[in-house]
Amino acid sequence: MSLDKYSLKMPKAVYSGKDSLNRIPGIIHANGFTKIAAFTDKSLRKLGLFDLVEKRIEDTGLPYEIFDDLPAEPTYMAVQAVIDQFKTTGCDVIVACGGGSVMDAAKLASVLVTDEYGVKDLLDDPLQARKCVPVIMIPTTAGTGAECTPNAIVGVPERELKIGIVNDNLIADFVILDAELIRNLPRSIAAATGVDALCHAIECYTSNKSNPFSDMFALEAFDLIMNSIEKACDDPSALNEKNRMQIAAFYAGAAITASGTTAVHALSYPLGGKYHIAHGVSNAMLLIPVMKFNEPACREKFVEAWDRAYHGEETLNTPEEKSQALIAWMERIVKHLEIPTDLKQFGVDPADLDSLVEAGMSVQRLLVNNMREVTPEDARKIYQEVLK
Ligand SMILES: NC(=O)c1ccc[n+]([C@@H]2O[C@H](COP(=O)([O-])OP(=O)(O)OC[C@H]3O[C@@H](n4cnc5c(N)ncnc54)[C@H](O)[C@@H]3O)[C@@H](O)[C@H]2O)c1
Ligand SMILES: [Zn+2]
């Protein structure tokens, strides 16, 4: 443990389990809210998923407006455009129903009912944001943990990067984790978003910023994910495993809040920003190469993670055996889930390596958390692993 100061910040209340969506009217009335802004996206409306939430919003008897003009993994301009529609409506609570993209936009809206600054200004100075409107988060993917973190991530096309805006005022107020919302999540999205949560757990556990608070959430999330992700993705009726993934994603978000992700997320940002590879997919690609690179520096932590999560019969004795077995297990999971692991199929050319390395190395906010120092040469080798 390298830090002697650490903290735990959380939403005010988290509801989960059967029919937890029914909590919506109670939360709204108990807090005296009078007009509701519902954030979602068009495909969730088309799928009828948002209807589950809208029904409970109708049950409140209060006026509401829907904001669904949000593309997946939006740029800061797309988020600002939705906020500009929202901020004149007088809504005093936001209900966000969606994946990380919708939740991040809702979080930014919650601090931007003002003309003093916009999303672009927060990219330069995130700490100026103050909470204006409380948020109820209802994730429809089990991955990002955005319902728990103080982060909002937006695309910045002029820098060909995705950038995280971090401010404690972005932490949601209420969270509802209802497995009905991820029951029909397509396997490929469940897999990529689930591996994103896996990355959050193992990166935070092996981060230079790890501490007793983050370790508690990161290890529990890791155990839950390693033992639930395959069934949750493969079997649409596995509601228990799906609920475990929701809880794990939330815990992994708590681990991010108390600690921080490392080189997987750092090197993944340019893949999202420049090549528009989905966040979970680019993390899944980099997870194993980065874990192999990190192994010598993180062995002790990998052994602890193995001891905590592995409940099988195999007996391993040496730290190196356990550490290698842990990486091999994660590799089997990524393979089983059939997440693409080759950058070439996304149009990345080996000639792009220089610019990728430069962009990845610019994410020092996260690279400094990595237990093994990452040099530009190391970053190049890691990218080369997925550009074969
Ligand atoms: N704020 C944070 O702490 C944090 C952490 C990690 C990632 N992120 C960000 O979150 C975004 C990614 O979020 P995501 O991985 O949840 O995906 P997403 O929100 O981008 O959604 C991906 C696609 O899945 C669809 N979808 C979502 N839920 C569905 C469901 N239940 N059934 C069918 N389709 C569904 C969406 O409509 C969308 O088309 C990225 O921008 C990433 O950078 C934020
Ligand atoms: Zn992530």
Residues with CB under 6 A from ligand 1: 41, 43-44, 47, 49, 72-73, 98-102, 104, 140-141, 143-146, 149, 151-153, 162, 181-182, 184-186, 189, 193, 196, 279-280
Confidence of residue 221 (pLDDT cuts 50, 70, 90): very high
How far away, in angstroms, is 249 Cα from ligand 1 center? Answer: 12
Q: Give yes or no for residue 45 having a pLDDT over 80.
A: yes
Give mean pLDDT, residues 261-270: 96
Ligand whose nearest atom lies closest to the CA of 286:
2
Q: How much distance in Å is there from the Cα of 50 to the middle of ligand 2?
A: 24
CA 276 / ligand 2 centre spacing (Å): 14
Q: What is the mean pLDDT of residues 22-36?
A: 98
Residue 283 pLDDT > 60, yes or no?
A: yes
Q: Residue 3 pLDDT > 70, yes or no?
A: no
Name the residue with the closest Cα to ligand 1, atom 40: 73
Rounded-to-integer distance, Cα 287 and Cα 203, Å: 9
Q: Tell how far CA 363 is from the center of its chain.
A: 17
Q: Which atom of ligand 1 is nearest to the CA of 74?
A: 41
User: What pLDDT, on a 0 to 100 scale, did the predictor assign at position 342?
Assistant: 87
What's the rounded mean pLDDT across residues 13-39?
97
pLDDT per residue as tens digits for the range 83-105:
999 999 999 999 999 999 999 99
Give the 3-state DSSP-derived string for the chain, with helices as H, strands as E and coil as C.
Answer: CCCCCCCCCCCCEEEECCCHHHHHHHHHHHCCCCCEEEECCHHHHHCCHHHHHHHHHHHCCCCEEEECCCCCCCEHHHHHHHHHHHCCCCCCEEEEEECHHHHHHHHHHHCCCCCCCCHHHHHHCHHHCCCCCCEEEEECCCCCCCCCCCEEEEEEHHHCEEEEEECHHHCCCEEEECHHHHCCCCHHHHHHHHHHHHHHHHHHHCECCCCHHHHHHHHHHHHHHHHHHHHHHHCCCCHHHHHHHHHHHHHHHHHHHHCCCCHHHHHHHHHHHHHCCCHHHHHHHHHHHHHHHHHHHHHHHHHHHHHHHCCCCCCCCCHHHHHHHHHHHHHHHHHHCCCCCCHHHHCCCHHHHHHHHHHHHCCHHHHCCECCCCCHHHHHHHHHHCCC
**Which of the ligands is closest to the CA of residue 49?**
1
Copy the structure tokens of residue 143: 């991955």
What would the CATH number be for the domain defined by 13-182?
3.40.50.1970
In this predicted structure, the answer to whether residue 316 has a pLDDT above a threshold of 90 is: yes
Rounded to an integer, the average pLDDT of 61-65 is 98
Distance from the alpha carbon of residue 179 to the mean position of ligand 2, in angstroms: 20
pLDDT value of residue 388: 80
Could you read off the pLDDT of 128-138 as tens digits, one per residue?
Answer: 999 999 999 99
Q: Residue 161 — very low, low, confident or very high, per pLDDT cuts 50/70/90?
A: confident
Residue 256 CA, closest ligand 1 atom number: 3
How far is ligand 2, taken at its centre, from the CA of residue 201, in Å?
10
Q: pLDDT digit string (tens) for 344-385?
A: 899 999 999 999 999 999 999 999 999 999 999 999 999 999
Residues 178-193 have a mean pLDDT of: 96
Beta bridge mates, 154: 163
Superfamily of domain 187-385: Dehydroquinate synthase-like - alpha domain (1.20.1090.10)
What's the whole-number mean pLDDT along residues 182-189?
Answer: 95
Query: Taking the model in full, what pTM does it have?
Result: 0.96
Q: How far, in Å, is the centroid of ligand 2 from the Cα of 238?
A: 24
Rg (CA), the chain: 20
Question: Ligand 1 centroid vs 284 CA: distance in angstroms?
Answer: 15
Please give the pLDDT value at position 2. 53
Residue nearest to atom 2 of ligand 1 (CA): 146
Residue percentage of the chain with pLDDT more than 70: 99
Confidence tier at 150 by pLDDT (50, 70, 90): very high
- For the CA of 41, the closest atom of ligand 1 is 37
Gap from CA of 55 to ligand 2 centroid (Å)? 30
pLDDT band of 281, cuts 50, 70, 90:
very high
Residue at 385: amino acid letter: E
> Is residue 1 pLDDT above 70, yes or no?
no
Nearest CA to ligand 1 atom 19: 99
Which of 119, 279, 365, 366 has most ligand 1 atoms within 8 Å of CB, for mutation? 279
Average pLDDT value for the chain: 96
Domain ranges across the chain: 13-182, 187-385
Q: Does 4 or 143 have the greater pLDDT score? A: 143
